[in-house]
Structure 1
Amino acid sequence: MRFQLTEDQLALRAGVRELLARRFGPQELRAAVDEPGRLDRALWRELGAAGFFALRVPETRGGVGLGLPEAMLTFEEAGRTLLPGPLVATHLAAGTVPGAATGEAVVAAAGNGLVEWLEQADVVRGDVAGAVPLRSVDPLTPLHRVPAAGTVDPVAVLLTAAEQLGGATRTCELAVQHARTREQFGQPIGAFQAIKHLCAEMLVRTETARAAVYAAAVTADPADIHSARLLADEAAVRGARDCLQVHGGMGFTWEFELHLHLKRAWVRTQRAGEATESEEALAVELLAQPI
């Protein structure tokens, strides 16, 4: 099966990438890190005006009228740029929560015992009674723990996987770029076998995850979605770690964006039922198949 993007899908991805590059570039990312817990409401409304949240809402209800594959592509770009905020929760609420589709309302959701961006949310879906603030490893994702685990929406799992894929793609790009330009002993470090292997393994994991995530967006099959989530989690976390190895000491510096990719990848692995729940759901699906 081939998953060739259409011209419209390519244009959508290019448009989202251009918007995010213009509105959430390196300077805005650094500003967000310096002010943890603050959500850029102007950017949120601009995302709403661009159709980010209303992408899957039917045109008859004021939405864009596209499908899950297009939503997956937009969330891949969001993950690539480390765009902060409860993106998945607000996207899922578009069409049912007033203001969510246009970005006028920020929506948070309780899931897996965690809530992202609770204090900034205008609307909270799920039981958040007894919520306790946590010290998040990711400065761009404030967290609260809640007693109730909540239900897991398969679309939330897929969109989380798409964000992980975007992060894996970005860290792979960073590693290759550094391997080409950083020199040791009179030649680029990319010429050394150990660095070649790291970059090659990052690429293989990323492209394997891409095939799985794209396929799951087309089939919307629960087993495909959980498989994609597991592969995307691995690509994001291991990719960020390997990218750190390629960069050496520079990769650990606070000013460099790489540590943020690793921390965000860790946080995403705890979202939408965790990897463990995806493993269990996938096992149930596989055991139910006839031999």
Structure 2
Amino acid sequence: MDFQPTKDQQALRTGMRDLLAARFDRSALRAAVERPSLDRALWQALGDAGFFALRLPESAGGVGLGLPEAVLVFEEAGRALLTGPLVATHLAAGSVAGAASGESVVTRVDGPLVAWLEEADHVQGDASGARAMRSVDPLTPLHRSRGTRTPEPEAVLLAAAEQLGSAARCTELAVQHAKQREQFGRPIGAFQAVKHLCADMLVRTEVARAAVYAAAVTEDPYEIAGAKLLADQAAVRGARDCLQVHGGMGFTWEADVHLHLKRAWVRAEQWQTADEAAEVLASAL
């Protein structure tokens, strides 16, 4: 079996990366950090590009693609640290008016954390009594609710795909810095300790990629739980190792590495936590 993205899937991924590079580049990312509000024009652009309607049938005005294609575009969203309740709006495309086209923003009560509650046009679930809380991620406003968690496997997998994209981007940032930063007259990437950090990041990312892609094909809830578990680890540990490679400058507000770490922390608590994923996997044994 040739378990590789097809030419059409590669073109889809490239197109999404190009769109985000044009509409949500680093300057837009930093502007979002300074003014954490949802960019409605960007949301509409995502809708126009078919991001939310990707898996709707063509007869319903969608693109008519499947879960593997959705995983690829969500991976790109994670790589770019794209903001907003992407998973909830994508899942609501077939049931909430305006969600598929990007005209509506949808969030969902999933466990104790609700993202983008004040910005949402539609809230799925009971958010009564939800209280605003300080989010560790400046790009993800959160409320704390009394809601229970009933994660859909598709939601879990799309969140895992975002984590995968973030892990891959952190690996790229670490390698770039290791090649450029010099110490004692040599690039720091020539030192064994830095090599090991970068190699470990790459291994975790590619293992998570294999798990996420495979789960997108099988749609097996146990494989999806394993994919989320591996992707969470790759994103969180990858961001930490990337900080180590960058040294002191990685901890500064001007660097983007800490944003990947903070987003990874938040995503690891959404849809399915590590403990919940482990319980799902244990139930299959």
TM above 0.5, one fold? yes
1:4 alignment partner in structure 2? 4
Structure 1 residue 131 and structure 2 residue 126: aligned? no
RMSD: 0.7
> Aligned AA for 1:213?
V
Stretches of structure 1 that go unaligned for 5 or more consecutive residues are none
2:268 alignment partner in structure 1? 269
Pairwise mapping of residues 45-56 of structure 1 onto structure 2 (< 5 A)? 45-56=44-55
Structure 1 residue 34 and structure 2 residue 48: aligned? no
Deviation at 1:2, TM superposition (A): 4.2
CA distance in 2 between partners of 1:79 and 1:91 (Å): 14
CA distance in 2 between partners of 1:109 and 1:34 (Å): 25
CA distance in 2 between partners of 1:245 and 1:100 (Å): 40
- Tell me if the contact between 1:3 and 1:214 (Cα under 8 Å) persists in the aligned partners: no
- Tell me if the contact between 1:111 and 1:273 (Cα under 8 Å) persists in the aligned partners: no
Helix, strand or coil: the match of 2:170?
helix
1:116 alignment partner in structure 2? 115
Stretches of structure 2 that go unaligned for 5 or more consecutive residues are none
Q: TM-score under structure 2 normalisation?
A: 0.99
Deviation at 1:169, TM superposition (A): 0.2
CA distance in 2 between partners of 1:2 and 1:145 (Å): 44
1:83 alignment partner in structure 2? 82
CA distance in 2 between partners of 1:188 and 1:30 (Å): 28
Structure 1 residue 247 and structure 2 residue 272: aligned? no
Structure 1 residue 148 and structure 2 residue 147: aligned? yes
After superposing the two structures, state which structure 1 stretch, 268-277 or 6-15, moved more.
268-277
Deviation at 1:273, TM superposition (A): 2.6
Structure 1 residue 219 and structure 2 residue 211: aligned? no
- Tell me if the contact between 2:228 and 2:272 (Cα under 8 Å) persists in the aligned partners: no
- Tell me if the contact between 2:111 and 2:146 (Cα under 8 Å) persists in the aligned partners: no
> Aligned AA for 2:158?
L
1:191 alignment partner in structure 2? 190
CA distance in 2 between partners of 1:64 and 1:40 (Å): 23
Helix, strand or coil: the match of 1:111?
coil
- Render the CA deviation track for 1:74-123: whole Å, top value 9, x for unaligned: 00000000000000000000011000000000001000221100000000
1:182 alignment partner in structure 2? 181
- Tell me if the contact between 1:127 and 1:150 (Cα under 8 Å) persists in the aligned partners: no
Tell me the number of residue pairs that the alignment of Structure 1 and Structure 2 aligns.
285
